[in-house]
Structure 1
Amino acid sequence: MSTSKTVQQLQAEWITRENFQRYGQVIFASQDGKGFDAEDAQLNLQNGTPRFYIMRLDKRGRKFHKITRHVQCTQCLGSLEGKDWFIAVCPPHNDVNEPVLDEIAAFRIPGNCFIKLNEGTWHAGPYFEHDVVDFYNLELADTNVVDHFTHDFLKSHQLEFEMV
């Protein structure tokens, strides 16, 4: 019995604070000295030691079949050098331990902002067409060990996604 995969295209929207609100926050530059408010990243890093680092990723394209979430902390991602990139997300449904297919959305993110993912938000990315992109990443020191839940759409639905 042969199983063939299906490639589903996701139309990537340019990210805005409004269209990303279900998944987290978009943070743009603000003037130095501005007081803390709702436009600043609302972080949850209380369940461990925060880890802020720069990760170097090689050309990743725009296709994925795995999506991951972290339920114990928020996560912040942003590219360096002003390079744009893509991410696919799905809102958390903590009563269901898998992403809801028809709620997956894709976003194109300019290099002049960063995103904060809410706790439990499913995410696939960063993805990009550049040869190499350095990203800063803020999460917990052990997020990828103790708080890393992945769903594989190839295994569950013979499905791969492509952000266009």
Structure 2
Amino acid sequence: MAPAKSLHQLTAQLITPENFQPYGQVIAASTDGKAYDHTDAQLVLNNGIPRFYIMRLHRRGRKFHTITRHLQCTQCLGSLAGKEWLLAVAPPSSAPQPEIDKIAAFRIPGDRFIKLEVGTWHAGPYFEHEFVDFYNLELSDTNINDHDTYNFRQQANLEWEIV
């Protein structure tokens, strides 16, 4: 008989540039004509053909058991129509799995987007809406050739819930 899986709860904190810094950047609106600086998304898209698209996701809930990273590029995500969403992350690492004690969850208002650093582990987007359209900037083959996923359920009999 398999042991019961453990459910860990993550409290989502409101995202800020400071608390999200270990994982990437938070990008908010700026004045038109502002000069490029460190507050703009610092992108790594030179390892292939960039792909910018809108993905529609349907009700995702708040539970997950897998987490993914991309080692060839940064990734930008943001919701359309101002809808709030949730994301779980762990800092980039050279290990084949994320550091469990460093996993954090964030509540992301619909008026900003995030840029994930190369190698940042991420699970989501999650939300309670019927559906949310997200813009996504990554490489054209990210989901084929640069999709390293760790399965907590298989490896540690563990699931997560963002609260």
TM-score normalised by L of structure 2: 0.99
* Alpha-carbon distance in structure 1 between the residues aligned to 2:148 and 2:96: 9
Whether 2:18 is the aligned partner of 1:22: answer: no
Aligned to 2:47: 47
Aligned to 1:59: 59
| 1:93 shift after superposition | 1.1
Aligned to 2:115: 116
Counterpart AA for 1:123: H
Alignment of 1:87-98 (within 5 A): 87-94=87-94, 96-98=95-97
Aligned to 1:80: 80
* Alpha-carbon distance in structure 2 between the residues aligned to 1:125 and 1:4: 24
* Alpha-carbon distance in structure 2 between the residues aligned to 1:114 and 1:2: 41
Unaligned runs of 5+ in 1: none
Q: CA RMSD in A?
A: 0.5
The DSSP-based 3-state class of the residue aligned with 1:19 is: helix
| 1:3 shift after superposition | 2.2
TM-score normalised by L of structure 1: 0.98
Which digits, 9 at most, give the CA deviation of each residue in 1:131-159, with x for residues without a partner?
Answer: 00000000000001110000000001111
| 1:4 shift after superposition | 1.2
Counterpart AA for 1:146: N
| 1:6 shift after superposition | 1.0
Task: Report runs of 4+ in structure 1 exceeding 2 Å deviation.
Answer: none
Which digits, 9 at most, give the CA deviation of each residue in 1:63-113, with x for residues without a partner?
Answer: 00000000000000000000000000000111x111010000000000000
| Identity in percent | 66
Number of equivalenced pairs = 163
Counterpart AA for 2:81: E
* Alpha-carbon distance in structure 1 between the residues aligned to 2:37 and 2:45: 18
The DSSP-based 3-state class of the residue aligned with 1:129 is: coil
